[in-house]
Structure 1
Amino acid sequence: MEQSQPVALVTGAARGIGHEVARQLAARGWLVLLSARRAEAAVEAAGSVAGSVRPLALDTTSPDGVARAMAEVEADPGRLDVLVNNAAAFVDWSETASTADLDAARAVLDTNLFGTWRVTQAALPLLRASAHPRVVVVGSGAGSHADPAFGLTARGGAAASYGISKAAVGALVATLATELAGTGILVNAVCPGLTATYPGAEAMGARPVADGAAGVVWAATLPDDGPTGGFFRDGQPLGW
């Protein structure tokens, strides 16, 4: 690996948006650390992507697992330029706040909010050493007031813990970006929009995964004078 080759870590990249983000970054010549909760899944997914791609076992809900994964990154390649927090958990669409199983809701928050928070904290020492550090969080219009189809007040209360977790992720991004202002670390959230990552999504108007992933790659490759603390879709600001 050349020292000039940028390095990105993508969480939850065994399939879907994360896998496509890994593919697009590798196609640009990046070294991509493709992570998944299970080592076998990471190896299989990395093997299907052309370019410089390495598998990495990373369970974002496990403090020990995150520590082990970051120690592995620190040992080799020894640097990190971009962290893409993509790993996420969803819930049954019928879940509502008034009837939700709070243990299940806690598990969603542990992945979507605390998992993202945990990995970002662990990655910051390496990111601080990068010349062009970026943190990208895959958010969702479900956690905003602006999405007319899936926003917080547009779903009739459905998928409650998912929307609440994604709203909290937006707060994390805004808070972290404010803390890191002036350090060169740009922190942004990106909503990929409704994408065809599950059976039947096309019938709901979902677009190709590659289109949704492109906005994430845009945020990962922002210039040094790019925005920070924002929420975007397709490179355009999205209300939160």
Structure 2
Amino acid sequence: MKTQQRVALVTGATSGIGSEVARRLVNDGMFVILTGRSAERGQRMANELGESSHFVQADLTAPDGPQELVDATLEVAGRLDVLVNNAAIDHTGPMLDVPAEEIRETFETNTIATIRCLQAAGRVMREQDSGGAIINVTSRLASIGVPSMGIYSASKGAILALTKAAAVELAPHNIRVNAVAPGMTRTPLFEEWLASQEDPAATERGVSAAIPLGRVARPEDVAEAVAYFASETNTYVTGVSLPVDGGYLAT
């Protein structure tokens, strides 16, 4: 299955933002390795995207999970040009009462697994003449404080700092490292949260009113930003965090 196409690895690719990123990169002509924990959802996504995709089931919090995933990518496609570090879990809870176990679980997935995927992919890209592009999906919450979201914010803020440090350190190997920071995005998780509100329509109106562009982001909006950083023609932008939040952070 070795391919002459540019190869992208997208973590957390079986739903929400990740699935839309994978769809966009396939449409841009890349061969995309999809990964997630659910074999059923992953295979369904691979079937939808067709011959320019391949699903690899992986648990990125497992001791050798990230390295095994990158090894599988090379076995399937023969190269790795783009890593999209998208896999993450949500967390809410009052700061002073969050159990240590929940803190560890959030950081294991959102921070440590992301770092280890960057390391494993970066070692491959370092050996390629063409280098590569690493895109970390963070959050608007990496840059602002919101009550009950402190642990999640910290896990994503660490990746914002990592993005800048890695961009500088990996630049000599022609590896560009950037971040995309979505605001509220219409994912299944958002829809589930919205449905749990007493008045979902009023809640959505309130959320939208706080966004200068007046609407919640679509997964396609985030995928557009990822595609920019992943593009073969984008060779001089690194160390950047791009908010995809309708202007929220500008207020």
TM-score normalised by structure 2 residue count: 0.83
Match of 2:211 in 1: none
Contact 1:29–1:51 (CA<8 Å) still a contact in 2? Answer: no
The amino acid that maps onto 1:168 is A
Distance in 1, matches of 2:104 and 2:80, equals: 30
The amino acid that maps onto 1:210 is E
Match of 1:121 in 2: 119
The amino acid that maps onto 2:31 is L
Per mean C-alpha deviation after superposition, the further-off stretch among 23-32 and 58-67 is: 58-67
Per mean C-alpha deviation after superposition, the further-off stretch among 121-130 and 16-25 is: 121-130
Match of 2:35 in 1: 35
Distance in 1, matches of 2:18 and 2:106, equals: 18
Identity, % of aligned positions? 35
Does 2:165 match 1:175?
yes
Go from structure 1 to structure 2 and tell me whether the alpha carbon gap of 1:48 and 1:172 turns closer, same or farther (over 3 Å shift): same
Structure 1: tracts of 5 or more residues without a match: 145-150
Question: Shift in Å at residue 98 of structure 1?
Answer: 1.3
Runs of 4+ aligned structure 1 residues displaced above 3 Å come to 1-4, 222-225, 234-239
The amino acid that maps onto 1:209 is P
The correspondence of residues 10-49 of structure 1 with structure 2, limited to 5 A, is 10-49=10-49
Match of 2:230 in 1: 220
RMSD: 2.4
Question: Shift in Å at residue 207 of structure 1?
Answer: 2.2
Distance in 2, matches of 1:84 and 1:6, equals: 13
Contact 1:79–1:130 (CA<8 Å) still a contact in 2? Answer: no
1:146-191 CA distances to partner (integer Å, 9 max, x unpaired)? xxxxx22xx2x32111001111111111111121122210001111
Contact 2:66–2:113 (CA<8 Å) still a contact in 1? Answer: no
Distance in 1, matches of 2:110 and 2:129, equals: 25
Question: Shift in Å at residue 224 of structure 1?
Answer: 5.0
Q: Choose the corresponding residue for 1:165, options 142, 150, 155.
A: 155
Across the two proteins, how many residue pairs are aligned to each other? 228
Distance in 2, matches of 1:4 and 1:48, equals: 21
Match of 1:147 in 2: none
More helix by share: 2
The correspondence of residues 1-240 of structure 1 with structure 2, limited to 5 A, is 3-50=3-50, 52-92=52-92, 95-128=93-126, 129=128, 131-144=130-143, 151-152=144-145, 155=146, 157-197=147-187, 198-199=190-191, 200=194, 203=204, 204-205=207-208, 206-221=216-231, 223=233, 225-234=235-244
Go from structure 1 to structure 2 and tell me whether the alpha carbon gap of 1:8 and 1:181 turns closer, same or farther (over 3 Å shift): same
The amino acid that maps onto 2:184 is L
Question: Shift in Å at residue 84 of structure 1?
Answer: 0.2
Structure 2: tracts of 5 or more residues without a match: 196-200, 209-215
1:3-39 CA distances to partner (integer Å, 9 max, x unpaired)? 5411000000000000000000101111000111233
